[in-house]
Amino acid sequence: MPIAYPIAPFDASLSRRIAWLETQVINPSEKLLAALAPDKRPYFSDWPEEFANKARVNFEGAASELECLLENASELRASLITQRDQGISHLSEMRYDIVFNLVEILRQHFPELKLSRGQFDRQLGITIGVIPDFIRAAYLEITGTSEQLDAPIQTTLDAVRKNQRKSR
């Protein structure tokens, strides 16, 4: 995914991705689909037939694949527009998603582990403890980025605790 992590292929905003989809995929696909329509097939013919290019194109198959591509690109564009308009940040969402999944891994493999965000260390200026230390180390390994992650850790632990109380 294009996002601001060192392991990502590149970083692109939602608006930039929307514009790219429109100019590089959606608009050309719509134009090509119109050109592949049955009433445009005579443009592809040659005369006399014996001099015609013998390589034949499966127009229906090409159009079908192009329609699938166009539908996928259009749905992605709509999703990206919605996310952009709602002020959603992929980087922020991915941060929370990774932290949530790491907490779930800890809960699955170490159910006896107390869900604690640790203690604040004034000298280091961060919260330390088993869970935050594990999450930061795993996050660094996954993303190549070192971050404190205090807010995603706290939010995730609060949500998990709240969920645990409801299920009792």
42-63: average pLDDT: 75
Residues 6+ apart with CB under 8 A from 122: none
Task: Please identify, among 58, 85, 112, the residue that sits at the C-terminal boundary of a domain.
Answer: 85
**Pairwise CA distance, residues 11 & 109, whole Å:** 34
Number of domains into which the chain is organized? 2
- Please report whether residue 157 resides in a domain: yes
Task: Please identify, among 64, 85, 106, the residue that sits at the C-terminal boundary of a domain.
Answer: 85
Computed over its alpha carbons, how large is the radius of gyration of the chain? 26
Residues 18 and 79 in one domain: yes
pLDDT at 48 > cutoff 70: no
Neighbours of 143 (CB within 10 A): 19
What is the per-residue pLDDT across 66-121, written as a single tens digit (0 to 9) for each? 999 999 999 999 988 988 888 777 777 788 889 999 999 999 999 999 888 889 88
Residues 60 and 101 in one domain: no
